[in-house]
Amino acid sequence: MTRKSPTTPKKPNAAAKATGAAVPPIEIDARQLPPLGMTPERFLRDYWQKRPLLIRNAFPDFETPVQPEDLAGLACEEAALSRIVMHDRANDRWTLRHGPFEEDEFPGMPHQDWTLLVQDVDKWDADIAALLQHFRFLPRWRIDDVMISFAAPGGSVGAHVDQYDVFLLQAHGHRRWEIDANDNPPLVFRPDVELKLLSEFTPTHEWVLGPGDMLYLPPGVPHNGVAEDACLTFSVGMRAPSAAELLGDFVDTLAADADEALRYADPDLSPPSDPNEIDVAAMNRAVEALNLLRMNDPDRLGDWFGRFMTVYRAAGEVHGGGETRSRIEIEWDLQHGATLHRHPWSRMAWRRAHRKGEPARLFVSGQDYALSADDAARIADAAELDGDSYGALSEAARDLVQGLLQSGHYSLVLPDEEE
């Protein structure tokens, strides 16, 4: 491996029955139109955050680019986020352990009923990262990571529910998936388990997935996967921050930017009937003071959201100081076959300005930069910049790329260093 871890939406069943509309199928063969078996527009309209979908042959004749031993090796890395879940079926007990793990642990693991999970494998392995090109029908900044799980026969993490969209691609071996597609499934968790496992799970559908099959689950759909044999499953998960996360960061930003002169004020104060009472007028003044901090400027609000969504949520930070070549040397190298590779932990997105004539904004790991829309779009989309793509940027954009290189967001790869 190359190194580099809501609320339940309303499903359409009830609405479709009420209107007499045909319910979209829950299973489809995608061999003729991978990976969805339909146009992205139809998928987003009929399934995205609405209805689960089993996609047979989403990746026809799929062969896994990583092996179980690769995953085990990654789970031993200090910077990798890894877990092992073991199930004692006789006593229905679950055990959760966090990595990093020792290499000599894996040869002695049981032959059944355990699962190794490693987050962010797309940040460590270029072949896994390349799979995300098949999901360009979604905003790239919404995709969180590719988690890979290896499960011994019978291995599972138990019946649970996720609060984000996930695509479960079977990469090797076979896994049996059960889901509860009812409109209002019970979502009470077991009190005796460290994992958030459902205390009640009644599946409505059951399938065995083989290599290349993929299951899409919107948020809030209870599911349980059990390995039929030793298997690998790739989970492409979305980033879906909770309202509490958004509010917390938003309030922090408001507070950091607040003018000290903006304060609670009561120039209309009159003698109170009870000096100890916080009356309605006082509460109205408090609301007015808070309203002074509101982000009424859509560009300011957009800049906050762009910074928030490009901060990586789990692990892995970008550190600079590694490039010693001068800019002249770097640009000469780019003209002679070198490339700039974006750091795998570096998240990028961009946004057009709300006001006409204003520059666009490029967001890089929580920072924002003013650029033309063309430059911002090119940089955000390119995992690599070669001499031609670098040369197509404006002078301001090339200045920014050079600064990002020094900050560690890119590394210079010479022609004889390419894999």
Q: What is the pLDDT of residues 13-72, one digit of tens each?
A: 544 555 556 889 999 999 999 999 999 999 999 999 999 999 999 999 999 999 999 999
Instruction: Tell me the average pLDDT across 283-287.
Output: 94
Radius of gyration, alpha carbons of the chain:
25
| CATH number for the domain formed by residue range(s) 327-417 | 3.40.366.30
Is it the case that residue 246 has pLDDT exceeding 60? yes
The closest alpha carbon to 78, from 310, 316, 329, belongs to 316
Q: CA dihedral defined by 61, 1, 145, 179, rounded to 10 degrees?
A: 40
Indicate the SS3 state at residue 225. Answer: strand
Is it the case that residue 4 has pLDDT exceeding 50? no
The closest alpha carbon to 62, from 34, 100, 39, belongs to 34
Amino acid letter, residue 97: R
State which H helix or E strand residue 185 sits in.
Answer: none
Instruction: Tell me the average pLDDT across 356-385.
Output: 96
Angle at 249 between CA 247 and CA 251, to 5 degrees: 65
Cβ(413)–Cβ(330) below 8 Å: no
Cβ(58)–Cβ(30) below 8 Å: yes
Indicate the SS3 state at residue 207. Answer: strand
Is it the case that residue 344 has pLDDT exceeding 60? yes
Cβ(218)–Cβ(49) below 8 Å: yes
How far, in Å, CA of 216 to CA of 210, rounded? Answer: 15
Tell me, what's the pLDDT at 70?
96
Cβ(83)–Cβ(157) below 8 Å: no
Angle at 27 between CA 23 and CA 31, to 5 degrees: 130
How far, in Å, CA of 149 to CA of 71, rounded? Answer: 8
How do beta strands 27-29 and 53-56 pair? Answer: parallel
Domain boundaries, the chain: 12-238, 243-296, 327-417
Distances (CA, A) of 222 to 143, 203, 210: 21, 8, 21
Tell me, what's the pLDDT at 325?
87
Angle at 73 between CA 134 and CA 141, to 5 degrees: 30
Instruction: Tell me the average pLDDT across 327-346.
Output: 95
Tell me, what's the pLDDT at 164?
95
Tell me, what's the pLDDT at 354?
87
Calculate the average pLDDT of the chain. 91
Indicate the SS3 state at residue 233. Answer: strand
Note the helical H segments in 183-326: 243-257, 280-291, 298-309
Tell me, what's the pLDDT at 22?
85
The closest alpha carbon to 348, from 143, 128, 89, 61, belongs to 143
Greatest CA span in the chain, whole angstroms?
A: 83
Q: What is the pLDDT of residues 114-172, one digit of tens each?
A: 999 999 999 999 999 999 999 999 999 999 999 999 999 999 999 999 999 999 999 99
CATH class of segment(s) 12-238: mainly beta
Least confident of 12-21, 77-86, 97-106, 270-279: 12-21
State which H helix or E strand residue 155 sits in.
Answer: none
Angle at 56 between CA 50 and CA 61, to 5 degrees: 140
Residue % of the chain over a pLDDT of 90: 82
pLDDT band at 322 (very low <50, low <70, confident <90, very high): low
Is it the case that residue 10 has pLDDT exceeding 60? no
Indicate the SS3 state at residue 355. Answer: coil
Q: What is the pLDDT of residues 180-214, one digit of tens each?
A: 999 999 999 999 999 999 999 999 999 999 999 99
pTM for the whole thing? 0.88
Is it the case that residue 290 has pLDDT exceeding 90? no
| Highest mean pLDDT of the ranges 33-37, 284-288, 354-358 | 33-37
